[in-house]
Amino acid sequence: MGNDILQLKPQEVWRHFYSLTRIPRPSGHEDAVREFIASFGRNLGLKTMVDSVGNVIIRKPAAPGMENRKGVILQAHLDMVPQKNSGTEHDFYNDPIDIFVDGEWVRARGTTLGADNGIGVAAIMAVLESGPIRHGPLEALFTSNEESGMTGAFGLKPGMLQGKILINLDSEQEGELSIGCAGGLNATMTFRYSDKPVPDGYIGLRIAVTGLKGGHSGVDIHRGRGNANKIMNRLLYEGYSRHGMLLSSIDGGSLRNAIPREATAVVAVSARQSERFLEDTYGLAAKIKQEFSAADPDLDIVAVSVGVPDRVIEERVAVSLLNTLCACPDGVMRMSNEMEGLVETSNNLAVVKSGEGAMTVECLLRSSVDSAREELENMIRSIFHPAGAVCLFDGAYPGWKPNPDSPVLKSMKETYTKMFGKLPEIRAIHAGLECGIIGATYPGFDMISFGPTITFPHSPDEKVSSSSVLRFWDFLVEVLSEISEE
């Protein structure tokens, strides 16, 4: 299968990307890929450093005659989002990605592909390895743990980087130049509970919500796709209100920055009420499926008999969870007044899990306006805290304020127009990029982000356009050759 990938152009990029797919690299488990990249730099005879938070920095001298150009930092992150379809057997901590060519697209079988941000990493590797490419002084910055906290960018120390221009290769629409992004904040709400015995005369049922597209909670949040946690809560809320259903366990979503695609719950229902419970559950399921028939046509909702659970969550706390999840905002809160089509503020109700005496709800709040993000934080706190949850807000990261007068933006617009006969689209994005964090540590940087076309990132439907990778690569090479003098 790798032979198909290796025939794609540019071969130097696809060769490195294929190597990356052989190395498990979910967020927080990047030791192997970090050593791979560091060894790559050292084997090229380039100065290579690994800092205290796991970032890899590699320096390459300027090409002959280019020594007086401004220094450029090429930046991408090492980790990938580990998501798979139910029924797909894959261990993200040990197994390589099963990658294949599907016409114009490169995909993975039943899992995320890791093109976010593996293509960016592979392109930087190709630049470092290349002899013919003309460029000024170069630094490659490979950051750690971007997807689950941006800890590499947060931990980057002042003085580590020497360049003046930072080019981030983590955008996902070829033909666009990104000049700004939203900031973010993690929210974690925890309910403590006691287990209670299941009353006599109750049966057990397992409810499953599957088949949703999910996606990136920044890039795809405006697409109106279903959130498995919200859908599950509608079913459970109705089941409790109408039939006194008791909740034994719940498990929905896995990552803050991925729209949850699947959720399961085990419940106990009075045997006398079970038939009506199932009728009402499937009746509501049909309505929900109709609501999402365009955005999520493969949505599936089933309820099946299982053994009677050993214990159930105490009713008072379970009801508090159902009420707060019903009230919790999810999706787009406000569109930007400054840039047409840009989401300003959103929330992703990402994870709902129970176990060991605690039910945990995790959200990712995003906004390009700090005061709007603060108001969303207050909204969520005012929902969960009065209901008895312990609320923790942490991991805040800044947005990246657009600079439409950026010199590198002007140069790259001209280069793109000259190469492709059209102007690139200039935009800010609702997703979080590391530029905002790095820019806070290095405020003098001129920054821009671009990349190939990647669709459905953070989901098993993730795929990358092979033709866009070629255009992305050709553009990157030309941009490096035209960086201005000091």
Residues taking part in catalysis:
79, 146
Asked if 358 and 251 count as a contact pair (C-beta separation under 8 A), the reply is no
Residue 223, exposed/middle/buried by CB under 10 A (0-12, 13-18, 19+)?
Answer: middle
Joined together, the tokens standing for residue 252 give 């929905």
Residue type, 443: P
Please tell me whether the peptide bond between 61 and the residue prior to it is cis, using omega within 30 degrees of 0: no
Measure the CA angle with vertex 46, ends 43 and 47; round to 5°: 120
DSSP of 41-69: HHHTT-EEEE-TTS-EEEEEPPPTT-TTB
List of residues 6+ apart from 426 with CB closer than 8 A: 176, 177, 179, 404, 409, 413
Antiparallel, parallel or unpaired: β 202-210 and 454-455: unpaired
Antiparallel, parallel or unpaired: β 263-270 and 246-252: antiparallel
Cα atoms in the 13 Å half-sphere on the side-chain side of 433: 30
Joined together, the tokens standing for residue 388 give 């008895």
Joined together, the tokens standing for residue 109 give 């079988």
Asked if 76 and 17 count as a contact pair (C-beta separation under 8 A), the reply is no
According to DSSP H, which parts of 86-136 are helical? 115-129
Residue 343 belongs to what H/E stretch?
A: strand 343-355
Asked if 164 and 445 count as a contact pair (C-beta separation under 8 A), the reply is yes
Joined together, the tokens standing for residue 383 give 């929902």
